[in-house]
Structure 1
Amino acid sequence: MKVTSVVITPVAFADPPLLNAVGVHEPYALRAVVEVRTDTGAYGLGESYGDAAHLELLGHVADELTGLDPFDLNDLSRRAEGAVGGRTAADAHGLIGAGGAAKTVASVTSPFEVACHDLQGKHLGRPVSDLLGGATRDRVDFCGYLFAKWAAHPGHAPDAWGPALDAAGLVAQARLMADRFGFRSFKLKGGVLPPDEEVAAVRALREAFPGHPLRLDPNASWDPATAVRIAGELAGVLEYLEDPVAGIPAMADVARAAAMPLATNMCVVTWEDLTRAVPAGAVGVLLGDHHFWGGLRASQHLATCCRHFGIGMSMHSNSHLGISLAAMVHLAAATPAIGHDLDTHWPWKRPEDDVVTVPWRFENGAVTVPRTPGLGVELDREALARLHEQYLACGLTHRDDTGYLARAAPTVRLREDVHEPARPPRPDRLRPHRNDAP
């Protein structure tokens, strides 16, 4: 089995006005769907970010994959690193930690690695979880991801979720999440309301959902003194406090004073970060993300390291489609060290906005691990074409929460140090990239 061609299709799907420490989600989220085709007629699927700069790098890798054996992941890594050639794709929204050459290579490799696992599973007639060591559970639990939000994007009709700008609104949002998806744990995206108001919201959630694990993530928007104070006020309430401050030294200082573990997907995003965070005692729970750690195998290596050093593990989430959800489910099922409910943005996506033929279902906050070959999902080509046309029509080419907030609510000011300048789009990367074109 050899790779004959690769098609990368940028897509856009509707996204509600979810608020965070750097701004607000734009009306559309951007993703890239990767399809790796082989001489056997089989195809493998991967999913990644849809920003123009990232699409360009994905295209460089795609051009180097003809003839690749999908079982030879070492060869994939060599080809991807050579294609990236030291380029760095900076994070455009400031919510997943610092960028760098190593992180860029890992991010660009990941969707192709997932697609190769999909191909391997289809070729062998086994689910991806079997390739990763075997499923240790048949269901994977997720947590309800709560956001402060507006009732609607400016100029748009109100969405079905309604506004959530105080404790009562967030509790109402959590009740909807619990009713629709059965979540038994909740995470609040913080750094939006004043810290004391977010404490009040967490306490209101605790009262409304006694016994449900709760998390708070202000995306490194607090100073250390505020973080220590809030950690003290929420001692015994939070399962963990995620990224209250920026950087490993500050996280270590807060960790020494906090009663609960500190979690991160921002200060530890590369292996080098891990070698500094462990001796500093900065992190108690690491939120791995196969999208920027290099794929499924690398994420399992990360889980082994976390287990060795006594660090818990969960998974970070960005706005995603069903291919990414499949990869997360297989990875978690085959990785016992992932012991916390996973993050997911899934509830914020409209059911009709996906590219897989069979919709995913959440029952009691969990997803059943597929036992069909590969990832267990197939590509809905009509839906893919529709979401690609939506990508072309929406006019967005990179994620810019801060810029959108400035346009939509110009009186609101956020920190200036988190905003990356806009990059001009590459017209040749706005349409599907194919390496089999004549």
Structure 2
Amino acid sequence: MNPELIVEEVRLAPILISDPPLLNTQGVHQSATPRLVVEVVTRSGVTGIGETYGDTTYLELARPLADALPGRSVTDVNGLFLLAAQVCGDSRAVDERVDAGGLRGAQTADKLRLSVVSAFEVACLDALGKALGLPVHALLGGKVRDSVEYSAYLFYKFAGTDGGTDGGTDDWGAALDPAGIVEQARRFDRTYGFRSFKLKGGVFPPEQEIAAIRALAEEFPGRPLRLDPNGAWSVENALTVARELKDVLEYLEDPVTGTDAMAEVAARTDVPLATNMCVTTFEEVPEAFARDAVRIVLCDHHYWGGLHRTRALAELCRTYGVGLSMHSNTHLGISLAAMTHVAATLPDLDHACDTHYPWQTEDVVTTRPDFRAGRLTVSDSPGLGIELDRDRLAELHRRWLANDGTLRDRDDAAAMRRYRRFHGEA
């Protein structure tokens, strides 16, 4: 093994980043969201960085993997999965609440472990790219596009921060009706040039969310529109929404929960169904594809275990004629860079990728990504092409250390209960 590529040290920095009060079927984003930054340092002093969820259960799995990695090569990304299975085992408790707000279906220790490994894999690839003078996309086989398209991610939201429970404010204001959603979309269009729009639904009755999509279609005729209620509807409600919006939806994402219900809806509508809930592991693919339950899978390197496994998923989708898009959750510039590199290598990525990033006001990278016409240019700099802002990382880690534990595990339902108590609601 090349000694310069051997891991000398692994650093873990759990942090809390500010998050606006965005609504979903679970509740509302709490005022700060936990993330985990992983640094892999080689013997030659090259540092690679990765990012994933920072809830307590993920940390329990990340720590033994960080302890076991020194002495191994950053080239051995396949070995990360075997190493994690050996040293991590099952988490101390697979808490159903640890869902990272993503509603990714039934939670398991294997899914948690993959999300942890994803950050280590990205950090190793970043370090390897820096050591070799190659961008990460070159390590994945090379880019097939010079820029990656992203979609505006629209949310119903409260005014202020944490729904106003902490007295803070943001400059977005509330968006609780179709007019508010349209104004939000106008700002995304004006500021970032996004060409397509996705609305996080499952918040209000279906007829209200139908009205919001209709308002978007009127304001932005011909633009791709998506609606994602995170499995909140019944089969009949999903079919009603599909019927009402069949002429304007690019796709309907997870209108119901589970492969059985998705297959039933898919059989009764021509509107393409997408998912990042019923297909989030390779084990879930055969049944969903065999039953034609989904037409589009939203990949997510955090879910699937990294960038190489994301590419494997893309090839599987290509083989079965299933479309591909990309899922997003609350993330920083590290994950956005990783998403952009792997997206650049996927020939059949036919839909704009999701990203929460424009909602985030804090980051640990020195330069914020610059969206132009809704796209990000793919970096050709070594590794991910980003630099860590160590002062900012330390500040956000101190915030995590100072927290009494109420925010260290993301819980949108608890955040909604706090909002209701603060505002005197039942």
Query: Could you say whether these structures have the same fold, taking a TM-score greater than 0.5 normalized by the shorter chain as the test?
Result: yes
The yes-or-no answer on 1:136 pairing with 2:144 is yes
- Tell me by how many angstroms 1:357 deviates: 1.4
The whole-number CA distance in structure 2 between the counterparts of 1:22 and 1:203 is: 24
Distance 1:313 1:412 in 2: 41
Question: Which residue does the alignment assign to 1:330?
Answer: 341
The answer to whether structure 1 residue 290 and structure 2 residue 301 are counterparts is yes
Contact 2:332/2:364 (8 A) holds in 1: yes
| 1:105 counterpart residue number | 113
Preserved contact between residue 33 and residue 408 of structure 2 (Cα < 8 Å): no
Separation in 2, partners of 1:76, 1:174: 41
Among 183, 202, 213, the residue aligned to 1:172: 183
| Cα gap change, 1:199 to 1:305, in 2 (>3 Å) | same
The aligned residue for residue 124 of structure 2 is 116
Taking structure 1 as the reference length, the TM-score comes to 0.92
2:79 is aligned with 1:68: no
Gaps of 5+ in 2: none
Q: Is the 8 A contact 2:40 2:49 kept in 1?
A: yes
For residue 193 of structure 2, the aligned residue among 182, 188, 193 is 182
The yes-or-no answer on 1:27 pairing with 2:38 is no
- Quote the offset at 1:378 in angstroms: 1.2
In the alignment, is residue 359 of structure 1 matched against residue 396 of structure 2? no
Alignment match of 1:403 (pick from 394, 414, 418): 414
- Indicate if the aligned counterparts of 2:178 and 2:212 stay in contact, CA closer than 8 A: yes
State the partner residue of 1:148. Answer: 156
Separation in structure 2 between the aligned mates of residue 109 and residue 157 of structure 1, nearest angstrom:
35
Cα deviations by residue, 1:182-207 (Å, 9 ceiling, x for unpaired): 10000000000110000000000000
Deviation (angstroms), 1:101: 3.3
268-277 vs 245-254, which deviates more?
268-277
Aligned to 1:268, what secondary structure does the other structure show?
Answer: coil
* 3-state SS of paired residue (1:236): coil
Q: Which of residues 365, 380, 394 in structure 1 aligns to 2:389? A: 380
Query: Match of 1:40?
Result: 44
Correspondence for 2:400 among 381, 387, 391: 391
**RMSD between superposed Cα atoms in Å:** 1.3
Deviation at 1:412, TM superposition (A): 6.8
The equivalent position to 1:344 in structure 2, one of 337, 344, 355, is 355
Contact 1:108 1:294 in 2 (8 A): yes
Q: CA deviation at 1:392?
A: 2.5
Runs of 4+ off more than 3 Å: 86-94, 410-413
Native 8 Å contact 2:58 2:113 kept in 1: no
**How far does residue 105 in structure 1 lie from its aligned partner after superposition?**
2.5
Aligned to 1:369: 378
Kept after mapping to 1: 8 A contact 2:217/2:248: yes
CA distance in 1 between counterparts of 2:371 and 2:399 reads: 26
Report the Cα distance in structure 1 between the residues aligned to 2:386 and 2:216, rounded to whole angstroms: 35
SS in 2 for 1:22: coil
Shift of residue 156 of structure 1?
A: 2.1
Secondary structure of 1:32's partner?
A: strand
Deviations 1:13-57 (A, max 9, x none): 111110000100001111000000110110111001010111111
Q: Is the 8 A contact 1:54 1:89 kept in 2?
A: no
CA distance in structure 1 between the aligned counterparts of 2:388 and 2:51, rounded to whole angstroms? 12
> Which letter maps to 2:63?
G
**Partner of residue 430, structure 1:** none
Q: 1:364 to 1:412 in 2, by over 3 A?
A: farther
Distance 2:31 2:80 in 1: 35
**Where do residues 201-240 of structure 1 align in structure 2 (5 Å cutoff)?**
201-240=212-251
What stretches of structure 1 of length at least 5 have no aligned partner?
414-438
Contact 1:28 1:394 in 2 (8 A): no
TM score, norm. by length of structure 2: 0.94
Distance of 2:418 and 2:327 partners within structure 1: 28
Deviations 1:238-285 (A, max 9, x none): 000000000001000001112211001011111111011010110111
Q: Measure the CA separation in 2 of the matches of 1:155 and 1:63.
A: 38
> 1:157 & 1:71 partners in 2: Cα distance?
45
Deviation, structure 1 residue 94:
5.8
**SS of 2:218's equivalent?**
helix
Contact 1:405 1:412 in 2 (8 A): no
* Distance in 2 separating the partners of 1:376 and 1:181: 21
- Are the aligned partners of 1:68 and 1:76 in contact in 2 as well (CA < 8 Å)? no
Work out the CA distance in 2 between the residues paired with 1:268 and 1:170. 29
Report SS of the residue matched to 2:298: strand
58-67 or 100-109, which deviates more:
100-109
Inter-partner Cα distance in structure 1 for 2:78 and 2:175: 47
Establish whether residue 272 from structure 1 lines up as the match of residue 276 from structure 2.
no
CA contact (8 A) 1:181 1:363 kept: yes
Give the letter aligned to residue 397 of structure 1. Answer: R
> CA separation in 2, counterparts of 1:189 and 1:172?
15
Q: Distance in 1 between matches of 2:210 and 2:9?
A: 52
- Give the secondary-structure state (helix, strand or coil) at the position aligned to 1:330: helix
